[in-house]
Amino acid sequence: MPVFLNTKDADFDASFTAFLSNKRETTVEVDDTVAAIITDVRTRGDAAVIDLTAKFDHFALTAETLAFTPAEIDVAIAEVPIKEAEALQLSADRIRAYHEKQLPENAWWQDATGAQLGWRWSAVEAAGLYVPGGLASYPSSVLMNAIPAKVAGVDRLSICAPTPNGQYNPLVLLAARLAGVETVFRIGGAQAIAAMAYGTETIPKVDTITGPGNAYVAAAKRRVYGTVGIDMIAGPSEILVIADKDNNPDWIALDMLSQAEHDENAQAILITDDADFSDKVIAAIKKQLETLERREIAAKSWQKYGAVIIVDDLEEAAQLSDRIAPEHLELCVADAENYAKKTRHAGAIFIGAWTPEAIGDYIGGPNHVLPTARSARFSSGLSVLDFMKRTTLAKMTPNALAAIGPAAETLANSESLQAHGLSVRARLDKLNEGNNG
């Protein structure tokens, strides 16, 4: 059943610490399976991907049919209702506009010695984007992954989206087209991550892999990191709602269930300073679970991982929030904008009762690929920067080298790295001869 905590209880700190340590991520059994899959794909290439797709997705492919053809994409896009196509276009426009503002600036300056220093940003050459597939797929994830990559300037983008039993969502292919991605492979799972990381005869190797997925996808991304870059190891979704009594309990219940319905391992937490209000939210959750389409999944999530925490005041709530470091943080409190400044650790913050987390999943503009499992303490959501890298630049003049070179030589010698010191000394000696060439 859900966890109920109150900061007034004598054992609260111990209970809260135990609550935070409750794991919802990858098991050893999953990791072992994933290791075998990666080895198989590295060894047999296309043949392994095709066999694993038949085994797990029950769909027969050949090397020629691993990717959708442009004609197949055209046919699928034609099936999308106009209303949905327009909504997806609006989403794409807003996501693009938001991420364009994230583009970093290059820098180049001269310091007091005359040395010129700076940095330059450039995009990776190729990126692989993972999108959960099938009929229950997420076209919004296509936009959230592909648009930042395009804005960053990535040359080559490809998507892997599983098609279990051959089923796919036409909206996923429309989203790919709107984002400017032409290559969509109909494969998923750990085998897709391995194929993108190491390459096969048909699937080209990429430089970085982004996108959410199940436990097998997360375990595969962890294993291929270092061979390629990744955005993060994302676990089950989570939401923390901090709410005072002046809220609609039905709204808060729906906000919590919006994450619980993702996955039975998802987590929804309410922190409030009013016990009566918490009772109303709990009652509203029970009522919604009677009719919600994904009620079985949401009910399991709520029963296994849900939590309600009663605090003395909302200042205390902000402190607890930072310890939780949630993926999604909703602030349904008075003066929510100023309250947001009191919280440090969160993947995304939704400010005020009129800003449901669901807006962030689709149409707000910020990215919905976010750090989970308390990793918001040290990481950020997906952005343009995940598809870029920074190269530092330095140019010495003879005078600059004369000014700082001796210190470099001293430090090199102190570390017993003789060639380092000599490489500087050779130039300093040239300067001492009066030859700046």
CA separation for the pair 259, 256 (Å, rounded)? 6
CA separation for the pair 28, 54 (Å, rounded)? 24
- Collect all residues with Cβ–Cβ distance below 8 Å to 78 and sequence separation of at least 6: none
Q: Where are the beta strands (DSSP E) in 255-352?
A: 267-272, 307-310, 328-332, 348-351
CA separation for the pair 232, 191 (Å, rounded)? 18
- Collect all residues with Cβ–Cβ distance below 8 Å to 216 and sequence separation of at least 6: 30, 33, 34, 37, 189, 190
**Contact assessment for residue 77 and residue 173, using Cβ atoms and an 8 Å cutoff:** yes
The DSSP element (H or E) to which 190 belongs, if any, is helix 189-198
Helix locations, 1-113, DSSP H: 12-20, 28-44, 46-57, 70-78, 82-100
Q: Report residue 132 as tokens.
A: 């959960």
Catalytic residue among 238, 327, 330, 357: 327
The DSSP element (H or E) to which 191 belongs, if any, is helix 189-198
Q: Where are the beta strands (DSSP E) in 201-321?
A: 208-210, 229-230, 238-243, 267-272, 307-310
**Contact assessment for residue 332 and residue 353, using Cβ atoms and an 8 Å cutoff:** yes
- Collect all residues with Cβ–Cβ distance below 8 Å to 71 and sequence separation of at least 6: none
Q: Report residue 12 as tokens.
A: 């609260």
Catalytic residue among 99, 328, 330, 368: 328
CA separation for the pair 190, 187 (Å, rounded)? 10
Q: What is the DSSP letter of 335?
A: T
CA separation for the pair 75, 87 (Å, rounded)? 19
Give the Cβ contact number of residue 254 at 10 Å. 17
Give the Cβ contact number of residue 406 at 10 Å. 13
Question: Does residue 328 carry a catalytic annotation?
Answer: yes
Q: What is the DSSP letter of 223?
A: H
> Quick one: 121 exposed, middle or buried, by C-beta within 10 A (0-12, 13-18, 19+)?
middle
Question: Does residue 99 carry a catalytic annotation?
Answer: no
CA separation for the pair 23, 235 (Å, rounded)? 10
**Contact assessment for residue 382 and residue 210, using Cβ atoms and an 8 Å cutoff:** yes
Q: Report residue 338 as tokens.
A: 């100023």
Q: Give me the active site residues, please.
A: 327-328
